[in-house]
């Protein structure tokens, strides 16, 4: 068990910002718009919203509560809940840690691309045109180098520890990102073609809804709220006892969903504007040519049409996105690091560099086998493992955890909860609906 004292977030706002920082990242600006664009736009949006509020939000409450109760890393917290079966609890904790680590390994690659796009205009400006092309063109060397740089940044922040590192980074920059989005949306709406994208995004064509879309949108909701693999348990363990968990979870879920929605409001119209400007977005059959780098085609093409101001805006946007990705990646690395600290008694710096190094190695392997591994790792971890682990946590909370202990924990910071509507619905909901619904979504496309 922990021999060192546990870090804590210094204020409620600090926690909300850190948890929102974990949630807001590539999932919102790269994952969500890309999936929406390839799944009929509004149809995906509608189902996604249902998934967030019906499945992801209740599970966010569950994960934060498990973490705060356990006051420890996911392995110990889960063992504390299922004290009769510590080995099984620890095994699930371990799967969660591995999932978080694999997610980080592909996340660094995409975040590396963001770094490339952030520096490209400046490189161009000071005369390094070849370098600017290199950092924005797909190649093994570019993917590896930038992923390494991003991983080092992540390790650097995590190594500095909880309040210093994580909170400081998360606190002020999210509102700035949102402001920038609004500015870009206003601009893109003045361009030819934007309305076509807007229609696609906001007017649902329900014929697009099918089993695959359900599975995709559920995975996206779990990914975007950083669920299933322990990040929110770890953050919950750093949360002070006077915080109202359901309310905080609702705030975090709203911020995250608001930013994803806003990103869609920019990217889908920008896609059609880019098409008008001659960028190849769709193939002859009208399908997206490439989904992985859609955002990286569409946005630079938009900044190009804006002249000098576009260079500045592009720079700000990509720098802020790198920071948003960083506040997410640190929450992933924090999962294995907190386990190594508590369970193996490693000190923070050994744990961070050691584990960060191994994950980095995996990133390099994925980069060098991009075609074979990237999509596979993304799908296995985000589409399948995250929701399935979510179902496991639902079983922990709903079936294994003693109801009075659960109430005791969630009551702290929220003394009136025993009489609230939330308490009448949520435990029952997590017990029956969440695990069954998650499994049904997976089974539905098979039948
Ligand atoms: N939610 C983040 C995003 O949208 C990614 C993320 C952070 C994450 N921590 C996580 C995903 C833990 C899965 C598990 O970009």
Q: How far is the CA of 218 from the centre of ligand 1 (A)?
A: 14
77, two tokens: 């917290």
Q: How far is the CA of 399 from the centre of ligand 1 (A)?
A: 27
- Which residues lie closer than 8 Å to 24 by C-beta, 6 or more apart? 174, 177, 255, 256, 259, 324, 327, 328
How far apart, in whole angstroms, are the C-alpha atoms of residue 337 and residue 165? 14
Asked whether the predicted pLDDT for residue 36 surpasses 70, the reply is yes
Q: What's the confidence (pLDDT) of residue 178?
A: 87
User: DSSP labels for 268-303?
Assistant: HHHHHHHHHTT---B-TTSSBS-STTHHHHHHHHHH
Averaged pLDDT for residues 407-424: 94
Give the atom of ligand 1 at the shortest distance from the alpha carbon of 335. 12
Lowest-confidence segment of 2-11, 38-47, 174-183 by average pLDDT: 2-11
Q: How far is CA 88 from the centre of its chain?
A: 27
Which of 223, 255, 320, 390 is the pocket-test mutation for ligand 1 (most atoms within 8 Å of CB)?
223
Give the position of tokens 């995975």. 219
Q: How far is the CA of 206 from the centre of ligand 1 (A)?
A: 28
Lowest-confidence segment of 95-104, 167-176, 252-261, 418-427 by average pLDDT: 167-176
Asked whether the predicted pLDDT for residue 1 surpasses 50, the reply is no
Q: Computed from CA positions of residues 224, 208, 276, 290, in that sequence, does the dihedral angle turn out positive or negative?
A: positive
Q: How far is the CA of 275 from the centre of ligand 1 (A)?
A: 30
Q: Is 301 in the pocket of ligand 1 (CB under 6 A)?
A: no
Give the residue among 442, 444, 413, 431 at the shortest CA–CA distance from 59: 431
Do the beta carbons of residue 339 and residue 93 sit within 8 Å?
A: yes
How far apart, in whole angstroms, are the C-alpha atoms of residue 399 and residue 12? 30
Q: Is 29 in the pocket of ligand 1 (CB under 6 A)?
A: no
Q: Mind listing the pLDDT tens digit for each residue in 352-372?
A: 999 999 999 999 999 999 999
Which of 95, 231, 333, 380 is the pocket-test mutation for ligand 1 (most atoms within 8 Å of CB)?
231
Give the position of tokens 């929605």. 261
- pLDDT band at 3, cuts 50/70/90? very low
Q: Is 127 left (phi over 0), alpha (psi -120 to 50) or beta?
A: left
How far apart, in whole angstroms, are the C-alpha atoms of residue 189 and residue 191? 5
- In the chain the first and final C-alpha atoms are separated, in Å, by 46
How far apart, in whole angstroms, are the C-alpha atoms of residue 407 and residue 401? 10
Q: Mind listing the pLDDT tens digit for each residue in 206-257?
A: 888 999 999 999 999 999 999 999 999 999 998 889 999 999 999 999 999 9
In this structure, what are the phi and psi dihedrals at residue 161, rounded to the nearest 5 degrees? 95, 170
Give the position of tokens 């399948």. 384
pTM of the model: 0.94
Q: Is 170 in the pocket of ligand 1 (CB under 6 A)?
A: no
Do the beta carbons of residue 195 and residue 309 sit within 8 Å?
A: no
| Cβ density class 294-317: b for 16+ within 10 Å, e for less | bbbbbbbbbbeebeeebbebbbbb
Q: Is 331 in the pocket of ligand 1 (CB under 6 A)?
A: yes
How far apart, in whole angstroms, are the C-alpha atoms of residue 370 and residue 139? 10
Q: How far is the CA of 192 from the centre of ligand 1 (A)?
A: 34
Q: How far is the CA of 295 from the centre of ligand 1 (A)?
A: 18
- pLDDT band at 4, cuts 50/70/90? very low
């Amino acid at each position: 068990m922990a021999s060192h004292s546990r870090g804590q977030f210094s204020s409620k706002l600090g926690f909300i910002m850190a948890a929102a920082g974990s949630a807001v990242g590539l999932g919102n600006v790269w994952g969500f718009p890309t999936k929406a664009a390839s799944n009929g736009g509004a149809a995906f949006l509608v189902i996604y919203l249902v998934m967030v509020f019906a499945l992801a939000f209740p599970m966010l409450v569950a994960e934060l509560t498990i973490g705060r109760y356990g006051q420890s890393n996911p392995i110990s917290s889960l063992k504390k809940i299922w004290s009769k079966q510590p080995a099984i609890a620890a095994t699930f904790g371990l799967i969660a840690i591995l999932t978080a680590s694999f997610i980080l390994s592909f996340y660094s690659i995409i975040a590396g691309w963001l770094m490339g796009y952030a520096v490209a205009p400046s490189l161009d400006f000071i005369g390094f045109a070849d370098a600017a092309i290199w950092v924005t063109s797909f190649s093994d060397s570019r993917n590896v180098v930038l992923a390494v740089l991003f991983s080092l940044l992540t390790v650097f922040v995590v190594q500095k520890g909880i309040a210093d590192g994580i909170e400081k980074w998360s606190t002020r920059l999210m509102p700035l990102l949102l402001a920038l989005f609004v500015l870009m949306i206003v601009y893109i709406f003045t361009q030819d073609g934007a309305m076509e994208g807007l229609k696609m995004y906001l007017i649902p064509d329900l014929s697009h809804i099918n089993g695959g879309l359900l599975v995709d949108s559920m995975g996206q909701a779990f990914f975007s709220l950083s669920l299933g693999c322990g990040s929110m348990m770890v953050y919950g363990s750093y949360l002070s006892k006077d915080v109202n968990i359901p309310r905080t979870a609702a705030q975090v879920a709203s911020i995250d969903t608001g930013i994803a929605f806003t990103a869609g409001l920019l990217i889908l119209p920008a896609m059609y504007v880019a098409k008008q400007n001659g960028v190849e977005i769709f193939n002859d059959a009208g399908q997206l040519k490439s989904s992985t780098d859609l955002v990286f085609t569409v946005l630079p093409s938009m900044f190009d049409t804006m002249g000098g101001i576009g260079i500045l805006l592009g720079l700000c946007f990509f720098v802020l996105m790198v920071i948003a990705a960083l506040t997410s990646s640190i929450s992933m690395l924090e999962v294995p690091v907190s386990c190594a600290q508590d369970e193996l008694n490693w000190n923070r710096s050994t744990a961070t560099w050691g584990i960060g190094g191994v994950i980095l190695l995996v990133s390099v392997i994925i980069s060098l086998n991009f075609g074979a591994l990237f999509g596979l790792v993304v799908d296995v971890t985000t589409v399948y493992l995250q929701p399935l682990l979510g179902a496991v946590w639902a079983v922990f909370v709903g079936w294994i955890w003693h109801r009075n202990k659960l109430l005791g924990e969630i009551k702290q910071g929220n003394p009136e909860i025993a009489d609230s509507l939330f308490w009448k619905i949520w435990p029952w909901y997590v017990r029956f609906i969440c695990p069954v619904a998650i499994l049904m979504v997976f089974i539905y496309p098979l039948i």
